[in-house]
Structure formats: C-alpha cells, structure tokens
Amino acid sequence: MGHEEENIRWEDISKVMREEKNPSRARKVVETPRIQPLKVYDSLYEELLDKCNPKNFMVVYDKAKVDAAILIYDELSRVNKKDEECIRTIRDRAVLRLGIRVSTDRLYKELIDYCNPQNFLTAVPFQADLLQIANHFYAQVRAGENDIHELERLSSQIYASKEISLFYEKRRMKEKEKKREEYEKRKKEADADIMTFIFIMLFIMGIVIFSQIFF
C-alpha cells in the first residue's frame, strides 16, 4: 500500500513538472475577443457612405437590401454634401430599407455640451430664467440620447433659444475684448522694449563719441 501511494505521489509530481515546462499542454489559453472601437464619422454624409455601401449586404446576402443599397449609394454619390435636408431624407430611407442604425453620438455630444446648465452658473448677474431653460433642454437631450429624430427636433429649438444664444454671444464678445486687451498689452510691452533698446544704443553711442572727442 505504501509503495502504491508513493508511486501516485511521484506521478502527480512529475505531471506538475511537465505542465510547468509546457503550460500549453496543461491548459488552453482563452483569448478574449478584441472589442472593436466604435467608428467615428466626421458627418452624417460620411456615415451613410460607409453604412450604405452595397458590399455590406453581400456577406449575408440579401437581394432586396443589395438592390436598395445600390440605389441609395448612387444617390449619395450625386447629392450635394451640404444639403442636410436631402441627406436626412436619404438617411431615413436607408434606416427603413436597409435596417442600418445611425449614430447619435456626434449630435448628442454637441447639444449636451451646448445646453449644460453648468455653463451658465457663472453668469453675472445670476440668471434663474436662463438656467431653467438650459436645464429643461438638458433633461430632454439626455432622455432622447438614442433617438436621432428627437435630437434633431431639440436641436432646432435649442439653437433658436434667444436666452441661450444671447449668453453665448455676450461670452464671445467678452473673449474677443479680452484678446484685444491682451494684444494691446503685449504691443505696449514690445514698444517699451524697443524704446529701451534705442535709449541704450543712444547712450552707448554718446559714450563712444564723448570718448573720441575728449580722449
């Protein structure tokens, strides 16, 4: 019995040693799949060009979607890139016929940054009405984060808000005035440096001329 237990122990030990030398035999390394980062597009037009390309519907072949993608992609290739209304119409048709999902990230971030109540807390004097308006829009934007049509509807309302627009206009004017003052300050300092340099040069020339005359 003792010999059997001793043999079992040596077999276990030798097995562990073999596994340490060749860990791939002992266990398979489980590789976690890499998560592909979400693609960021510069515009809705660029996003549609990428997502409506007919080749996207050839991997899992769907004749109806390939036909629709060909027509939509052709229209995109000929549309004016700056015609936002036309591009949105194409987008809605692409969502319906191709089943694509259009990202809301760019517009959502733009609106959430624009009407964030924290932007208006430093207003002097304190503007309760402005904060209430901003807070109202902020909540609606957050609620519609994944709804592109709702965000577009809110966008037209938010940018039409006179109170918010006036606040940003005043802030732009203050920043412009601050830059002008900083420029004037740097200009005065530069002028003072030039005058100091001229004075020093004249002083040195005076000493040289004086020494040549009297010595």
pLDDT of amino acid 107? 93
pLDDT of amino acid 16? 46
Give the model's confidence band at 30: pLDDT under 50 very low, under 70 low, under 90 confident, else very high. very low
Return d(Cα 159, Cα 164) in angstroms, integer.
8
In this predicted structure, the answer to whether residue 26 has a pLDDT above a threshold of 50 is no
Quick one: average pLDDT of 154-177?
90
Could you state, in order of their start, the residue ranges of all structural domains in the chain?
A: 37-102, 104-183
Residue type, 134: A
Helix (H) or strand (E) segment spanning residue 211? helix 162-214
Which pLDDT tens digit goes with each residue over 98-140?
Answer: 999 999 999 999 999 999 999 999 888 889 999 999 999 999 9
Place of tokens 């627009």: 165
pLDDT of amino acid 9? 52
Quick one: average pLDDT of 141-162?
95
Per-residue HEC secondary structure of 93-123 comes to HHHHHHCCCCCCHHHHHHHHHHCCHHHHCCC
* Least trusted range by pLDDT, from 28-42, 59-73, 110-124: 28-42
